[in-house]
């Protein structure tokens, strides 16, 4: 049963990815310094937890 649920989710994801690839809208990525700090902090925490 769990495999069927996972397969269904993956099919929906594949469908969404295909639609987004076809309709491809131009969007600008807005980023600032705080997003970079948060991203690097999460990366460091993940590396530390992995090595712990």
DSSP, res 33: H
Continuous H helices in the chain: 2-23, 33-51
**pLDDT in the model for residue 22:** 87
**pLDDT in the model for residue 27:** 75
Confidence of residue 52 (pLDDT cuts 50, 70, 90): confident
Instruction: Establish if 5 belongs to a structural domain.
Output: yes
Domain of 6?
1-25
Instruction: Establish if 1 belongs to a structural domain.
Output: yes
3-class DSSP state for residue 30? coil
Q: How many domains does the chain have?
A: 1
Model confidence over 4-50: pLDDT tens digits? 999 999 999 999 999 988 887 777 777 788 989 999 999 999 999 99
**pLDDT in the model for residue 48:** 96
The C-alpha atoms of residue 20 and residue 8 are separated, in whole angstroms, by 18
């Amino acid at each position: 049963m769990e495999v069927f649920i996972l397969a269904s989710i993956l099919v929906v994801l594949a469908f969404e990815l295909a639609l987004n690839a076809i309709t491809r809208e131009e969007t600008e990525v807005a980023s600032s310094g705080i997003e970079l700090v948060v991203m690097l902090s999460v990366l460091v925490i993940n590396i530390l937890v992995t090595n712990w």
